[in-house]
Amino acid sequence: MRKNSVCVVGGCGHVGLPLALAFARAGVQVVSFDINETIVRMVNCGEMPFDEPGGPEVLREVLNSGRFEASADPTKVSQVEFVVVVIGTPVDEHLNPHTSAVPDAVESLIPQLDSEQVLILRSTVYPGTTSLVEKRLLARGASIPVTFCPERIAEGCAFDELYSLPQIVSGRNPSAVERASALFSMLTDEIVITTPEEAELAKLFTNTWRYIKFAAANQFYMIANEHGIDFERVRHAITFKYPRAKDMPGAGFAAGPCLFKDTMQLAAFNNNNFFLGHASMMINEGLPLYLVERMDRRFDLVNKRIGILGMAFKAESDDIRSSLSYKLKRILKFRCSAVLCHDPLVTVDPELIDLETVIEESDILVIGTPHRMYRDLKVDKPVVDVWNVLGQGVAI
């Protein structure tokens, strides 16, 4: 086993790969273990499997340095000092968290683990997961100490935020906490020490707080819109040089792989007694249908062709996981004659077509994702712009 070495399990994904590259850049010997052999080959050839600003340059740098490799070989786990697991907790179609996902993944690694290593859980987990992992390892005779150090980055900001944000480190073994703190101190100057339970809730509370804020803005948007008032003008009046409201977001799709999921995890943890979280889910998930209803009232969609501009879940991203643009597409396909879609960054959807064709063949355009390239859009047909990308208001 090499001292000051890391294996990131699930290490070629949106959370694991930027972390692995950042550690390698800081001088740590790193292997990204992933079961997807196609992605592993891609990474070892210097190609990022997803868009992350700065990622291609860092990947080439650490590959050339010899401090980084990707691998589908599970025995790599046994060769490092730190095992970082970035496998998260999904929710099923009934909004119930799959609470055994992380413990099951860790248990499968037991043949590769020993007591000299430190196990670091990194992705968002259901509260109590760290404790459950500890119990399962103990029951199997594995004495590796466990820490939980939740990831805090936003997609597209990894190589800024991994270095600028304080890192939360938690655990019950003082030596393991000290070692994990030393590891993350190679990336950032500030470490926050908590218990595992505090860290688990800190991560869920963070994502849920953002989701609730977006829901409040979306509800305000609907209220204003129903009364013929442009919410964006109201928001400007509220936030302009007024510090107590400066964090009020604009309206828009609150989507992606984390916010909705983590809000539902928190609800499940509190025995589904989380009215604020469930109300936020209904508002945010209901926004696509609300937009279609308003469009139908105004334009009568039955014989219209609708173009959706932007299919990723957030601006300047190629990630379509849980994107509400696809929910919007499904609803529109039931209401109108055709739906045409474009996204400048998404590469995994074969149904996407070029921007010129979408604009030319659509009767109405909807900005689904506020990519920068749409800011200069010049068209002579209606544009539904809940994001106010064009700066012409958000009223429908």
Alpha helices in 270-323 (DSSP H): 275-299
Q: In what order do the strands lie in the sheet with 29-33?
A: 68-71, 29-33, 2-9, 80-85, 118-121, 146-148, 167-171, 191-194
182's CB contacts (< 8 A; 6+ apart) are: none
Write b or e for each residue in 67-103: b if 16 or more Cβ atoms lie within 10 A of its Cβ, otherwise e.
bbbbbbeeebbeebbbbbbbbbbebeeebebebebbb
Say if residue 111 is in the same domain as residue 172. Answer: yes
Say if residue 343 is in the same domain as residue 216. Answer: yes
Domain residues for the domain of 98 are 2-194
Which has the closest alpha carbon to 103: 140, 58, 151? 140
pLDDT tens for each residue of the chain, 396 residues long: 588 899 999 999 999 999 999 999 999 999 999 999 999 999 999 999 999 999 999 999 999 999 999 999 999 999 999 999 998 888 887 778 888 899 999 999 999 999 999 999 998 899 999 999 999 999 999 999 999 999 999 999 999 999 999 999 999 999 999 999 999 999 999 999 999 999 999 999 999 999 999 999 999 999 999 999 999 999 999 999 999 999 999 999 999 989 999 999 999 999 999 999 999 999 999 999 999 999 999 999 999 999 999 999 999 999 999 999 999 999 999 999 999 999 999 999 999 999 999 999 999 999 999 999 999 999 999 999 999 999 999 999
Say if residue 264 is in the same domain as residue 174. Answer: no
CB 262 within 8 A of CB 208: yes
Residue with token string 């609150």? 254
Q: How far apart are CA 237 and CA 215, in angstroms?
A: 19
Looking at residue 1, its pLDDT comes to 57
Say if residue 154 is in the same domain as residue 112. Answer: yes
CB 131 within 8 A of CB 125: no
Q: How far apart are CA 227 and CA 212, in angstroms?
A: 23
What's the CATH number where 233 sits? 3.40.50.720
Please count the structural domains in the chain: 2
Looking at residue 93, its pLDDT comes to 79
Residue 392 lies in a domain: no
Residue with token string 């994502």? 207
CB 148 within 8 A of CB 44: no
Q: How far apart are CA 364 and CA 336, in angstroms?
A: 11
β 146-148/167-171 pair status: antiparallel
Q: How far apart are CA 18 and CA 15, in angstroms?
A: 6
Residue 395 lies in a domain: no
